[in-house]
A and B are shown apart, each in its own frame.
Chain A
Amino acid sequence: MTPALPAETREPSLAIDLSGIVKHYRMGEEDIPALRGVDLEVPVGTFLAVRGPSGSGKSTLLNICGLIDAADRGRYLLAGENVAGLDEEARTMIRRRAIGFVFQSYNLVPVMSVRDNIEYPLLLLGQSVDERRARVDEILGQVGLSGMADRRPDQLSGGQRQRVAIARALVKSPTLVIADEPTANLDTTTASQVIDLMRALGHRHNATFLIATHDDRMTAHCDAVHSITDGVLQ
């Protein structure tokens, strides 16, 4: 079910507009604050890095922005749509059409071919066979894997797998791509290639990238870099 979202648009040019985001986790009896009133505005098409030590809250921030977790308090406008307080079903439908994910460990489905992995988000969107084929062929060309459509993930190198993951994230032309340490498992050369590819495709698809990273090579390519410490965004 596609939720009917109010057109609460304060700044249409913002992909992400967070205000006063608070998130706590309970560990037994203890209440641990993960985000303490985060405010963040990210214009559409921005390549934004969030860096911070382990446990600083950057993954929590990405999870909330990616709608795989919900804030306890605060306002979240995704491309002008108020997505705070939505139920799981509504968040799922937004993720389905508007958010792509790139994971540190690629998270490709091992029994699916490269083509099937990239096609999966389009299947969820109910696109026709011809639409899916055209979109997958196009993005395979953009990530330089045209000849590898029928290979399985275990027949690819780490860099090639991350290219497949990037293609899978971008194939539906999402508003937002959440990338969690996308170069952490890659060697220097491959990491540079992946960063360049993400930037190029981000511009081409007008997608906003929100990247959690420790990698200075990555931050050097970003439009903006924010640091987060103890749940407070700098």
Chain B
Amino acid sequence: MNVQFAALRLAWRNILRNRRRSLVTILIATVGCLSILVASGFALYTYDMVRESSAGEFGHITVAGKDYFTRDEETPLQYGISDHRELTAALLKEASVKRILPRVSLSGLVSNGDKSVIFLGIGADVPGEAEVRGDILKLEAGSLTGKPGDPPAVLLGVDLAKSLNAKPGTGLTLLATTTSGGINAVDVMVAGIVSTGWREVDKRLVYTDVGTAQHLLVSDRVSTLSVYLDSTDATPAALERLAMADPAHAYQPWWVQAFFYHSVRGLYDRVFGLLGLIIGMLVFFSVVNTLAMAVVERTREIGTMRAMGAMPGEIVAQFLREGALIGAVGALLGTLLAAGIVLASPHTGLQMPPPPGRSVGYPLLVIATLPLYLITNTGIISLCAAAAWFASRKAAKKPIVEALAHV
């Protein structure tokens, strides 16, 4: 039997000396590990969900006219892209680009004849938008597009539709300021009612096709091109390549506009960071308490080992192994339980309540990542080993004569 194995076996036997006390300590390490893994798994799922949602909303990269992101437009489409078809064709040559959606931003009044309401509109490839936005552009009634021969189609936000008492098939008029400063109007028909989950957005939202938006604004420009990539992780590299290849336009990644993502991440980082700190302290002091009692009980044994020639460092190392073993068993049990929760969470149907400003909740899911599990397990084991060092460092240096006389 090699020295390391003998030392580990001795550590395990020492842990089993007071089984109840060790079991409680292991359970605390288990619950600590489980709590960190589940809370962090939930936070990571939320980050992923909000990240994908943000990227879906804005596109992984937004391309616009040179001054679009730095100056306010005095007239609609002032900094818009006029050569958007050629630019789209050029952008599609980039290997990681999956899809490009043009967008025309517009605002004005929408009227049902009796009532006029301010709208914030987007002229876009509506089916394409619905596809990339997923749950954040949910069709509540009607269809995404109009029928051939009908007036141009629009989608209304669910609260705007309520305000205008509009349903699919209702005729409306859009009024907006043109690029030259005049007023233009277009008669449209409601094709569908949509919900974004954001009440403030749904009160003002109008979706129409690019042609109708351009016709209303009397321009052939688009405001932006939203570039969708194979994966969100490809954004930094693709951004660098595209921006370098095309200095005539401005390129902006999704995270610059994703304020909700940053606020969620900032909030959760603080909340779960504090939670992790508290859990870590509980585990630390629990192991310190357990091993401090063990150290006192084994003082004479420590003296005997020192008399036989064990160095103080070797005594501390023995307690470190015991602490690390407690941590390892706790971390292993916590990991197994957390993995069970990860596997079960999609089947529970549990929902988180809507975040502030939103009208729909989201699934309570927990994900697992290898770095999370490695870091947490290493952290728990290291914490327990550190607690063991803290508990044993003085006793290991106690004068041998005093230690041998300990009763």
Tell me if A150 is interfacial: C-beta within 8 Å of chain B.
Answer: no
- Per DSSP, are chain B's interface residues mostly helix, strand or loop, or mixed? helix
A95 and B401 in contact, given A107-B300, A111-B17 (Cβ under 8 angstroms): no
Is B237 in contact with chain A by the CB < 8 A criterion?
no
Q: Select one of A69, A93, A129 contacting B2, CB under 8 A.
A: A129
Residues of A within 8 A of B2 (CB): 129
How many chain-A residues does the 8 Å CB contact rule pick out? Answer: 29
A120 touching B305, Cβ below 8 Å = yes
Q: How far is the CA of A63 from the CA of B405 in the complex (A)?
A: 12
Determine if A123 and B6 form an interchain contact, defined as CB atoms under 8 angstroms apart.
yes
Binds B, one of A5-13, A79-87, A96-104: A96-104
| B350 proximity list for chain A (CB < 8 A) | none
Which residues in B have their C-beta under 8 angstroms from that of A97? 309
Q: Does B304 contact A (CB under 8 A)?
A: yes
Contact with A along B285-311 (1 / 0, CB 8 A): 000000000000000110011111111
Is A89 on the interface with B (CB-CB < 8 A)?
Answer: yes
Q: How near does chain B come to A11, taking the closest CB pair, in angstroms? A: 26
Q: Are B310 and A63 in contact (CB under 8 A)?
A: no
Number of A-B contacts (CB under 8 A): 63
Q: Is A200 an interface residue (CB 8 A)?
A: no
> Which of A116, A124, A168 meets B314, CB within 8 Å?
A124
**CB pair B308 A121 closer than 8 Å:** yes
* Min C-beta distance of B380 to chain A, whole Å: 24
Pairwise interchain contact B308-A96, C-beta atoms closer than 8 A: yes
What is the CA–CA distance of A99 and B304 in the complex, to the nearest angstrom?
12
Q: Which residues of A contact B399 (CB under 8 A)?
A: 69
**B-contacting residues, A108-123, CB 8 Å:** 109-112, 116, 119-121, 123
A–B Cβ pairs within 8 angstroms, 16 of them: A63-B401, A68-B306, A68-B307, A68-B401, A69-B399, A69-B400, A101-B307, A107-B301, A111-B10, A111-B13, A111-B14, A111-B17, A123-B6, A124-B310, A124-B314, A168-B308
Contacts from B to A (Cβ < 8 Å): 1-3, 6, 10, 13-14, 16-17, 300-301, 304-311, 314, 399-401, 404
Which 5 pairs, one residue from A and one from B, show the smallest C-beta to C-beta distance?
A: A96-B309, A111-B13, A68-B400, A107-B304, A95-B309
